[in-house]
Structure 1
Amino acid sequence: MTNYPRDEFDRVPEFNTRVGSHHAHGWAQSAAAKSAGGSLRWVIIAAVSVLIIGAISFFVFNQQPASPTATEPTATTTASEETSSSPTPSETEEPSPSFSIDESEVLYGQRVGIYNASGIRGSAGTAQEQLVEEGFTNLRTGDWSRLETESAVYYASNAYEMTAQKTAAALGIEAVLQTSNIPDRISIVIGSDVTEEQ
């Protein structure tokens, strides 16, 4: 037995629960690390799953149905513009070859558009002169966008029917039709049939 002086390491209590420092990093720490790592792994998996489900839901349920193409309103023309297309008369309306005209309902001051669709220069002007002789005072002329073989008088509503009938009678036009697809309340399209008779 040696005679070295006693130090702190020689004064170890008889009953001590302390374990060596190597035990603190042994199985207890390993078990704690495994437990924490396992929990973290499940948290990451759950988060990724939520993100994937959210992305799928966004793309699948957030798609809007294709909206139908809206029909464009019919544009009216000014005195310097050509009429874009022929009007589409109401299917219920039929030409009225014989019509009793009530003169008290004829609007001689109503603006009436006269459009040349015959391809012959001056046809609209000739029709304008005939209507002036009948007493109409608010007339304008222009060119139709395409040639027409048959002349027609179009009116926008029932309020202008008698006036349209009067202009048709003055010009010898049989087709008088109601439609909203016209540039004026009353629009007269002069076709080649009228110019052939002149």
Structure 2
Amino acid sequence: MTKYARDEFDRVPETSARQGVHRAVAESRHRRRLVPILAVGVAALAIGLVAFLFMPKPGFTSAGDTLAVSAEQSGSSAAASPAPTASSEAPASQTASETPSAPAAPSATPSAVAAIDKTQPVAVFNGTTTAGLANRVGSTVSTAGWTLGTLGNWGGVPQQRSVIFYSGAAQKGNAEALGQLLGIPSVVDSAEFQQPLVVVLAPGFK
């Protein structure tokens, strides 16, 4: 309990509404300041929305526009660049590679002809009943440049057709050359004779 007596200031009505004058004044001032700020913000938001929706966006182009620009650029570059002209002269390397090499000149003497050795003696035997046939064929052989060997009548197994026997593979070319000269296509390699080339004339030889 206080020692002082109560006065009029100590009486506070219980139903009276408490109000602060300084609070009302401060709130009204804050509202006045916020109104222009809000108005500016709303206006800026509206302008940004309009610009986003209706103004062209830099840096973004549609696929169709890109293709159109590429086509126009390629067309203009093709029109600007001159058409390539065919060169009348081929590069040196290409000319050298494409030039066909001259065919080798054929040998004047075939290998078979070069292998013929007419110094080998040729024996001629008559296996027919025609007298003097071995001598006549021997004359043909010697006239062709061959060395003539033994001439006589055939005493071996009767032959059904004329044949030229040769001794060893080295004499095969000589036997074929004699066959062309005499018209005897049959040549046989045989080691039964002591001579390199033996001509046996069979019945019917002309």
TM class by smaller structure = 0.3 to 0.5
Larger Rg belongs to: 2
User: Relative CO higher for 1 or 2, CA cutoff 8 Å, sep ≥ 6?
Assistant: 1
